[in-house]
Amino acid sequence: MAGVSESDRESTVDEVLGGSDLSSRVFVVTGSSSGLGEESARGLSARGAHVAMAARDPVKNAEAVERIRASVPDADLSIHELDLADLSSVARFAERAAGSLDRVDVLINNAGVMCCGEGRTADGFETQFGTNHLGHFALTLRLMPLLRRSESPRVVTLSSGGHRIADVDLADPNFEATPYDGWIAYGRSKSANAHFAAELARRCGGGLLSFSVHPGAIVTQLGRHLTPELIDELMARARASASGQGGGSGAGLRFKSVEAGAATQVWAATAPDLGAHNGQYLADCGPTAPGPGDRGHEPWIDDAATAGQLWELSERLVGLSFSDS
């Protein structure tokens, strides 16, 4: 690994990976057809890794492969269709992966949706909770047999500073009893991602490294549902949050490039000696602590009881058991 300072928020994927040799490693990256997923796949494949690129739209995924191979001609990539808003698609992907991959060293749960209109997944879950959390929860459990074949498996799940908006609602995860709010739904799903990563680490007992990641604010296709009004609301929330945490009323979102935004998830996926941070929420290529700013997080994502209860709820909702995976 290159000598990147943990406090350098502008570190890029290429700086994080440096001259790493990943030629014997197998990665699965969801949401690989654009943005952070595509950049992660590019950087990893440039160091010799095989990257299974999983995305909902096979045409856009193929176009991403072409863009990567324009700069990495010998990139070892495979294209896979995966719709995280449909548990039957998750099951089909996992079945195909079991037939084409001998193991998975690292799963990067990168895909997601943000502040979309009220809707339901194919299985009836609120769209953001169902896609961002339950889809990746089911995917991870279904890929556990392949992950267990790795000598040092890892799962990296994208959370967000948006977790500050709201913790999970275990009593009403699908907004069946409360009015729908797109930003609150997003915040709940991002808190769920952090809880999931922490609980996965606990349940694996050190046999697998699991992290959640705040990539920073980046302009990608994730924001395709945002209207000017929703953006203004987000900026107001960011300013209010920063002020409440001692950041000053003028503080708010600071944007990164895609290359810098993907760096933390790639760092979490490849950096050595991260065992001491197993289960933690990471940002700017380093650990975080409860408190303000991008290197801080809300203390609720450290609540082990909530994480355990969310895990049990998620198993019931998706019809899968970790003990059987």
What is the Cα–Cα distance from 150 to 209, expressed in whole angstroms?
Answer: 12
Buried b vs exposed e over 75-92: b needs ≥16 C-beta within 10 Å? bebbebebbbbbbebbeb
The answer to whether residue 186 is catalytic is yes
| Closest-CA residue to 37 (of 110, 106, 104) | 110
Neighbours of 51 (CB within 10 A): 28
Reported as type and span, the H/E element at residue 78 is strand 76-81
What is the Cα–Cα distance from 220 to 89, expressed in whole angstroms?
Answer: 24
**Rg of the chain's alpha carbons, rounded to an integer?**
18
User: Which entry of 93, 186, 196, 281 is annotated as an active-site residue?
Assistant: 186
Reported as type and span, the H/E element at residue 220 is none
Neighbours of 258 (CB within 10 A): 19
- Residue 71, Cβ density class (10 Å: 0-12 exposed, 13-18 middle, ≥19 buried): exposed
What single-letter DSSP state applies at residue 277? G
DSSP states of 109-122 as a string? E-----SPPS-B-T
Rounded to the nearest angstrom, the gap between the alpha carbon of residue 300 and the centroid of all alpha carbons in its chain is 18
| Closest-CA residue to 23 (of 50, 42, 41) | 50
Number of H helices, E strands in the chain: 11, 12
Whole-number Cα distances in Å, 151 to 3, 69, 180, 208, 249: 25, 29, 43, 9, 48
- Residues with catalytic roles: 186
